């Protein structure tokens, strides 16, 4: 069995190894409803913490989230946590895009998709609000306010 601390160490290691950059595209209406945007409060001096949100695509076309930026962090990546049967533990991977099919809702949540928020520029406490910009494959951008919540530390 792997202990939680081993999993968390692996989580920080994975996050440091993964690097990527996102392009900013032009502004357009996303046609998406974004709700329940929150960041899990983390212990001080963490290298990365997680953010979550719910995306409801009420349009007739699939939407594809391709990047997230925020002034509050050095960088933001889209990650997916999955159970690795061979390793017998949870692993996270970097998702280049997340598709929300037409007429469906996708929830970022612990154990699934999350925003990996790298190197917060200041410690975030429960109740703090953070602005982020979501960029979609069609060039649409959405500005979203995330609220920091106290939460069991989890991916």
Closest CA to 39 of 137, 100, 106, 128: 128
Per the CB < 8 A criterion, the answer to whether 35 and 109 are in contact is no
Q: Which stretch binds Cu ion (CB under 5 A): 25-33, 38-46, 75-83, 134-142?
A: 75-83
Window 9 to 68, contacts with Cu ion (CB under 5 A): none
Q: Find the binder of Cu ion among 76, 116, 117, 130 (CB under 5 A).
A: 116
Q: Find the binder of Cu ion among 79, 115, 135, 136 (CB under 5 A).
A: 79
**How far apart (Å, rounded) are the C-alpha atoms in residues 12 and 16?**
6
Q: Smallest distance, Å, CB 31 to Cu ion?
A: 27
Q: What residues line the site for Cu ion (CB under 5 A)?
A: 79, 92, 116
């Amino acid at each position: 069995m792997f202990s939680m601390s081993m999993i968390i160490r692996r989580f920080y290691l994975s996050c440091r190894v993964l690097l990527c950059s996102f392009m900013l595209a032009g502004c357009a209406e996303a046609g998406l409803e974004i709700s329940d945007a929150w960041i899990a409060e983390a212990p001080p001096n963490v290298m990365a913490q997680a953010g979550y949100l719910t995306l409801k695509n009420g349009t007739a076309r699939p939407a594809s989230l391709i990047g997230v930026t925020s002034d509050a962090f050095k960088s933001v990546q889209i990650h997916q946590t999955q159970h690795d049967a061979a390793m017998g533990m949870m692993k996270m991977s970097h998702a280049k895009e997340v598709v929300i099919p037409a007429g469906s809702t996708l929830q970022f949540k612990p154990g699934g998709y999350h925003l990996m928020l790298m190197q917060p520029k200041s410690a975030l406490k429960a109740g703090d609000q953070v602005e982020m910009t979501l960029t979609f494959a069609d060039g649409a951008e959405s500005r979203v306010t995330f609220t920091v919540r106290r939460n069991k530390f989890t991916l």
